[in-house]
Amino acid sequence: MSSPRPSLTLSLLQGREAAMAFFRPSLNARDLTEQQWRIIRILRQRGELEGHQLAKLTCILKPSMSGVLTRLERDGLVRRWRLVGDQRRVLVGLTEQGQQRFVEMSGDMEQNYRRLVEQFGEEKLGQLLKLLDELKAISP
């Protein structure tokens, strides 16, 4: 009987958890969830987006996205509005407070990246990111 092949999906999840261990304390210290931070970061990088675009870029399922955005809106970090010409389309953007939260966290997050690179290595991290980009580009 042959032994089962190593699980790619399980290894990816375990790798994600290992990486998040560097960043989670900073998020917890500022009362942000990982999902909230992904939204703030993508909106800072990309600007205003439609909800479905944001869900895809942040890897958050649409049903979960609604609740996360509601909490971010309640906390004054994002705002949502309907397009004037098409009421079905909803845009999401960072508020001034959301922009400020990103700026406040940037130093900590960069320091966390430096700690990760110190232990993992710049070259290996670059290779990993390149391989993950290649994996994301393939389709079944």
Q: Which CATH number fits domain 14-131: 1.10.10.10, 2.40.50.140, 3.40.50.1100, 3.40.50.150?
A: 1.10.10.10
pLDDT digits (tens, 9 = 90+) for 27-81: 999 999 999 999 999 999 999 999 999 999 999 998 899 999 999 999 999 999 9
Q: Which residue ranges make up each domain of the chain?
A: 14-131
Full-model pTM:
0.88
Question: What confidence score (pLDDT) does residue 1 get?
Answer: 60
Contact of 96 with 40, CB cutoff 8 Å? no
Distances (CA, A) of 95 to 7, 44, 58, 118, 123: 41, 10, 18, 34, 36
Sign of the Cα pseudo-torsion (67, 70, 71, 72, in order): positive
